[in-house]
A and B are shown apart, each in its own frame.
Chain A
Amino acid sequence: MTLFIEQCLNGLQFGLLLFLLAAGLTLVFGIMDLVNLAHGSLYMLGAYFAATFTAVTGSFLLGAGLAIAATLLVGMLVEVVAMRRLYGRDHLDHVLGTFGLILFFDELVRLVWGPEGRSLPVPSWLNQSIQILPGIQYSAYRLAIIVVTLAVAAFLYVLVMRTRLGMLIRAGATNREMVGALGVNIKLLYTLVFGLGAALAGLAGLMQAPILTVQIGMGENILILAFVITVIGGIGSIRGAFVAALLVGFIDTLGRAFFPGFLADLLGRQAASTAAPALSSMLIYILMAVILVAKPQGLFPASSR
């Protein structure tokens, strides 16, 4: 039971973290109609920036803040230099162009930080366990991730649904020309949205960094997960991304933890030990295939946003 609650919390934490990545992707897709494979590179940059800035300043919070600002700037720069030219193009162009950016960023990181991975230690004041329920301990750092991501999700909700900027963002997604004709600087708006997505990716990267190692290519696996989430949730829908991120986080974490045991009961230990590792990694892709076959536009199609 203890293990089950702990794994549920892990699933929640992973799901919320994935939401940060997926939210940026889905915002950029919903508003600029842009498929951005290089989103994983921004996640990686966030982690590298945090590792460096934390080492320089000696403070995790200060390092994290600087890293988010740096990723935001890099994101805006990428938008101005490259992405802006891709709007209105074929999706295939987006995939290939941003694939080129992945190669560029991977190599750039290798040039600047070297081929060895970095580690970002958990700050000492979070490096402990907290008793959350009688008899159940949980890592304070993972708990902090849950709190921060929930706060960011709430912030995003207020930003998009309750502010003037959010109104413009939503309007820009519906009809770009009309918003432009009404005198809104749509180019600047797009740059800001892309920067926001980049900052979210950077935040996700730096928070995940102490749990995993900071290394080149760290963004590539998780990028695919984030794409799975945006697709399951319905591309362009932040609400869909939130629901799908939690779904994927839970299924992936619980699947890895409990699916092998479940299979062993079902098929016998021998067969399970060969099939389980592959099947539990495949679970979310199976989920995605099933959802897309049933609902080709995802759970929350953009039209009903």
Chain B
Amino acid sequence: MSRSFTFRNGVIAALLLVLILLPAYVMLTGDRFLLTLFTRIVILAMAAVSLNLILGYGGMMSFGHAAYLGIGGYTAAILCFEGIQSGFVQWPAAIAVSALFALVVGALSLRTRGVYFIMITLAFAQMAYYLASGMARYGGDDGLAMESRSQFAGLLNLSNKTTFYYVCLALLFASLFLVWRMTNSRFGLVLQGVRSNETRMRAIGFPTFRYKLAAFVIAGVMCGLSGALIANHTDFVSPAMMFWTRSGDLMVMVVLGGMGTLFGPVFGALALLFLEQFLPAMISAMVRPFNPAGAAKAGEYWQIVLGPLLLIIVLFARGGIDGLLGTLSRHLPGSSERGHG
């Protein structure tokens, strides 16, 4: 990673600053909605960061990553439902259950590769989805409300939106730090070697299966924890959060932001949720000059723009947002960054 000041690093620094200072802005303007939106962005960014570890750095195309969101969320919500409200129990339990699930799924799926791997991870996520739909005691299809947020013995009050936001942000930063440390360690280098050429890595003596499995479990744990955060954020869990299109959304975030880059998934989560939030209004504004009456209605059909946009990004902008920033960095004067990625 280049340490010199480049356009890309400037944008990343600005993004981090915005994330840290957001609650102050919200306090000044009283725009509570913005805080809710950003809490959601931060949580999903953490999930995307975890997917990026196996997808971007490890080359494992897991199409069932939303299962961990659900598993972490359900673990917290079920414990709460059964009367255990302490976050000191709920969160480690969410971590443990997702680790166990990832261990089983990884051990079985990593025997396959290519499309078979995509499909078997999808199948396991569908199993988790139907398991949650079938749990009549915990709401089945309708989902389960979380009566109160996780309690931290008076240390933290998660019902306070600002406190909760900072807890999520701290966990996102911790995940980013962890991924950064890992990808620059021997473990991470082996993982990236496997992405490039697994046969060669095995030939020079690395037990690649174990490395991949370890990365798979670490990613599952991170995503499971962000699931527990989502349950706290929305005070509700339902099987829908594990449906396969949710896994698709996480993949989109990673690719949109830039696969195999540290901050890419954060950009991706930000971009996708911003599009989801503001594209309807943008479409309405664009339609208004031509058809004032239909403008508001046109905004409802924002996905008709998002879909082709995705296809175009896949076809023409493989590096995602991070790649775009890198290109800009190289072309702006006074930049010393060499092309990588």
Q: Say yes or no: is A268 at the interface (Cβ < 8 Å to chain B).
A: no
Please tell me if B123 contacts chain A, counting CB pairs below 8 Å: yes
What's the minimum C-beta distance from B133 to chain A, rounded to whole angstroms? Answer: 7
CA distance A29 to B115 in the complex (A): 10
Q: Which of A279, A285, A298 has the most CB of B within 10 A?
A: A285
Contact B63 A289 (CB under 8 A): no
- Give a binary string over B109-151; 1 marks a CB under 8 Å from any A CB, 0 the rest: 1011111101110111011001101111100000000000000
Contact A292 B112 (CB under 8 A): yes
A166 neighbours in B (Cβ, 8 Å) = none
Most chain B beta-carbon neighbours within 10 Å: one of A95, A102, A293, A296 = A95
B3 → chain A, closest Cβ, in Å? 31
Closest residue of chain A to B315 (Cβ to Cβ) is A85
Would A285 and B123 be within 8 Å (CB), given that A96-B310, A97-B315, A274-B135 are in contact? yes
- How far, in Å, is A291 (CB) from chain B's closest CB? 10
Indicate if the CB atoms of A231 and B116 lie closer than 8 Å: yes
9-residue interface stretch from A51-59, A104-112, A144-152, A179-187: A104-112
Q: Which residues of B contact A298 (CB under 8 A)?
A: 116
B63-A95 in contact (CB<8A): yes
A70 within 8 A of B: no
Closest CB in chain A relative to B57 CB, distance in Å: 14
**Which of chain B's residues have a CB closer than 8 A to the CB of A99?**
245, 248, 251-252, 310
> Do the beta carbons of A107 and B307 come within 8 Å of each other?
yes
B310 engages A278 (CB within 8 Å):
no
Known: A82-B311, A103-B303, A224-B244. A96 touches B122 (CB 8 A): no
Docked complex: B280-311 residues within 8 A CB-CB of A: 301-304, 306-311
Interface string of A267-305 (1 = CB under 8 A from B): 000000111111101100110110011001110000000
Q: Among residues 104 to 131 in chain A, which have CB atoms less than 8 Å away from a CB atom of chain B? A: 104-108, 110-111
A297–B301 touching, CB < 8 Å? no
Q: Which of B118, B120, B131, B302 contacts A95 (CB 8 A)?
A: B118
A228, CB-defined interface residue at 8 Å: yes
Q: Which residue of B lies closest to A96 (CB)?
A: B314
Across the interface, which residues of A come within 8 angstroms of B318, CB to CB? Answer: 93
Q: Is B225 an interface residue (CB 8 A)?
A: no
Q: Is A200 interfacial (CB 8 A cutoff)?
A: no
CB B51 to nearest CB in A, in angstroms, measures 12
Residue A91 is within 8 A (CB to CB) of chain B in the complex: yes
The answer to whether B308 and A231 have CB atoms under 8 Å apart is no
Name B120's contact: one of A82, A102, A276, A288 (CB within 8 Å).
A288
Contact of A227 with B by CB under 8 A: yes
Complex Cα distance, B61 from A276, in Å, reads 31
A292–B118 CB distance below 8 A? no
Compute how far the CA of A171 lies from the CA of B311 in the bound complex, rounded to whole angstroms.
29
- The 8 Å CB contact of A111, one of B118, B135, B304, is B304
B255 at the interface (CB under 8 A from A): yes
**CB-based contact B115/A100 at 8 Å:** no
| Contact between B123 and A288, CB atoms less than 8 A apart | yes
A27 interface residue, CB < 8 Å from B? no
Shortest CB-to-CB span from A115 to chain B, Å, is: 9
- B residues within 8 A CB of A37? 248
Q: Is the CB of A100 within 8 A of B126?
A: no
Q: Are A285 and B124 in contact (CB under 8 A)?
A: yes
A266 vs B114: C-alpha distance when bound (angstroms): 39
Q: With A103-B306, A285-B123, A289-B124 given, is the CB distance from A35 to B314 under 8 Å? A: no
- What is the distance, in angstroms, from A299's C-beta to the closest C-beta of chain B? 12
A281 and B120 in contact (CB under 8 A), knowing A108-B304, A224-B126?
no
22 A-B Cβ contacts within 8 A? Answer: A35-B118, A86-B314, A91-B115, A96-B251, A96-B252, A100-B310, A103-B303, A104-B308, A111-B304, A220-B244, A224-B122, A224-B126, A227-B122, A274-B136, A274-B137, A276-B134, A278-B135, A282-B131, A285-B124, A292-B111, A292-B112, A296-B113
B interface residues, Cβ below 8 angstroms from A: 55, 61, 63, 108-109, 111-116, 118-120, 122-124, 126-127, 130-131, 133-137, 244-245, 248, 251-252, 255, 301-304, 306-311, 314-315, 318
Q: A: which residues have CB within 8 A of B?
A: 29, 35, 37, 82, 85-86, 89, 91-93, 95-97, 99-108, 110-111, 220, 224, 227-228, 231, 235, 273-279, 281-282, 285-286, 288-289, 292-293, 296-298
Q: Given contacts A96-B255, A296-B111, could you give 12 more A-B pairs where the C-beta distance is less than 8 Å?
A: A35-B115, A92-B251, A96-B248, A99-B245, A100-B309, A101-B307, A103-B310, A104-B303, A224-B126, A227-B119, A231-B120, A277-B133
State the 10 A-B residue pairs at the shortest beta-carbon distance, nearest first. A278-B134, A104-B307, A100-B310, A103-B307, A281-B130, A107-B304, A107-B303, A100-B311, A100-B307, A296-B112
